[in-house]
A and B are shown apart, each in its own frame.
Chain A
Amino acid sequence: MNNNKTFQFAAHIVLLIGVLIMVVPIWIAFASSTHENITILSEGMKWTIGDQLSQNYNEVLNQKGGFSKEITATSMFINSFIMAFGIATVKVIISAMSAYAIVYFRFKLAVPLFWLIFITLLVPLEVRILPSYQIVSDLNLTNSYTGLVLPLVASATATFFFRQFYKSVPDELLEAAKLDGANSWKFFIDFLLPLSKTMIAAMFIFMFVYGYSQYLWPLIMTTDEKYWTVVMGMKIIFQESYEGGNLPRVAERFAYIILSMIPPVLVVVVLQRWFIKGLIQTEK
């Protein structure tokens, strides 16, 4: 018993250290973002909350930036959200459906096709960025949300996970459903989707974060500042603060960073219940 308690205590210490390592930098960023620029520049980063919270955040969200002063951080957040949400949603739908086709329809070449899809993992966007750009530009989709989302919606990873999951669904379920008059479409909607909802949540989170953190693609795709995304904005803020003649606006930078974390964190918080279930068990 005593031994057990010591062990528990030690385990908690380790966990606590882990938490601190992750949370402290965020806290410092947040605390520093609530001070005046000049304070941080002269005194270094802060542990305590200052009095500039609303002012700094307000400034970051609403001040127009960029070369043509057309974009605010708020609209960059909206752009990023649209892009990430679009990518995640379409990716999940396409992957679930293609995995369904691969697993349940015995068409010729199903296996080679699956491996072909799988091999695309070896060709990330960065490798195929020029042809991808060429296609999107030929379709006149540069500077549009469609162009931002479309080239990223196919996902070998998610297809693979869905395939593995569908394969674990017992055949009798399909047969029972068939006898109950479910056609292929109904089986997908009434059975596979509800059964894989934890998987869907997990995939959605992964894909949302993936879409949100895209940098190269939006950078190449968008010449119109209207379509800039958060990650691009981060780079611009840094550039401005170093290349401009003004004092670097460190506090606002921190505020921007903190803000940029909010959407992915929200997605995780909302979906985490299913997400954790999806990772540790399949509900069957």
Chain B
Amino acid sequence: MSFLKLEEVTKVYPNGTKAVDKTSLDIKNGEFMVFVGPSGCGKSTLLRMIAGLEDITEGKIILDETTINKIDPSERDIAMVFQNYALYPHMNVYKNLAYGLKNRGETKQEIEIKVNEVAELLEIKEYLQRKPGQLSGGQRQRVAMGRAIVRNPKVFLFDEPLSNLDAKLRGQVRIEIKKLQKQMNVTSVFVTHDQIEAMTLGDRMAVINEGVIEQVGTPIEVYEKPETLFVAEFIGTPQMNFITGKLESNKFISEGFNCDTNKNLSDQEIIFAIRPENLKTNKDGNIKIKIDLIEKLGADSIIYGYNKANNYICYRENGNTNIKVNDEVILEIEKDQYHLFDKETKKRLN
């Protein structure tokens, strides 16, 4: 059952910029949906339209069977965690959490019970009397979460809430958010440009580019079967290898290498894509590259090189590789682990 539903939502700014173009999406009750895309792709605009901070130019947003287009942000029963937390600097943590409840006209006792409950859940009880300025980044993050949770909303919105934290804390908080969301089972929409966050947090993710959703699916679906060239480029580090060539009677032909494809496709110009981990060294392989750069990450090594057609190709090896720069390596594509995209429409073919 869809709980939060976007129907052909469009946002055009007064200066004519189209930030979001006819976007439709169903989000199920209790689902964790991640919007991921490069900066300026419209993912935040979409989130802000759900929150009511931006007007909707066209289309409908339906929450729990009510169209909320015209409903005031405070009455949508939505809570949002902002990128810079937007804590109220002049109020202590308790008042930060209580402010929304107070405005709803709840009594002092009710507020106290709720705030204490949330403070306990997030382990911020001892900071209740402090002001945001006296808290560390991680603590502020918790308060921001608390302010959202305490209102017991139908939907949580997260606008890149982890980007202000340092790398170590980011990982911790990411796990906490995931656990908390499962525990409370509240529908959530999380905006990020970080694909690790997108992959790890979401039940499903929507990859957005230039105001359009390119693909929606579980992170693994999106990773294993990118529907468009953009998704293929955007998801996965290091990036996929892309080689332009053409299909001739189900054989991919390019300057650098040829490869049989087992799909029945008409002859056409295509882009052939392979993930770095789907390339393995094998002296009987069909891609020969000269190594140009090696990144050793400890757990695995990322190796870059050129083939004879000057395609820059990257592959991944487990552990510390003993290959050196300027060595020649022959690579083989793992069986069926490639992606074919139409050169014109940029859509997936296989």
Contact = CB atoms under 8 A, between A and B. Distances in A.
A170 B88 contact: no
B51 interface: yes
The binding surface of chain B is classed by DSSP as: loop
Interface of B: 51-53, 73-75, 78-80, 82-90, 99-100, 103-104, 147, 151
Contacts of A186: 103
A175 B86 contact: yes
Nearest to B104: A181
8 closest A-B pairs by CB: A181-B74, A180-B100, A172-B86, A181-B103, A176-B86, A194-B90, A172-B82, A178-B73
A180 B74 contact: yes
A117 interface: no
Contacts of A150: none
Interface in A148-206: 170, 172-173, 175-182, 186, 190-191, 194-195
Contacts of B82: 172, 175-176
A283 interface: yes
A236 B27 CA distance: 81
Nearest to A284: B89
Interface of A: 170, 172-173, 175-182, 186, 190-191, 194-195, 283-284
A174 to B, nearest CB: 9
A179 B74 contact: yes
Contacts of A181: 74-75, 100, 103-104
* Most B C-beta atoms less than 10 A away, residue of A173, A181, A194: A181
Contact of A179 (B79, B89, B90): B79
Contacts of A195: 89-90
Nearest to B95: A190
A176 B140 CA distance: 14
Contacts of B100: 179-181
30 contacts: A170-B86, A172-B82, A172-B84, A172-B85, A172-B86, A173-B86, A173-B88, A175-B51, A175-B53, A175-B73, A175-B80, A175-B86, A176-B80, A176-B82, A176-B86, A176-B88, A176-B147, A177-B99, A178-B53, A179-B51, A179-B52, A179-B53, A179-B78, A179-B80, A180-B74, A180-B100, A180-B103, A181-B104, A191-B88, A195-B90
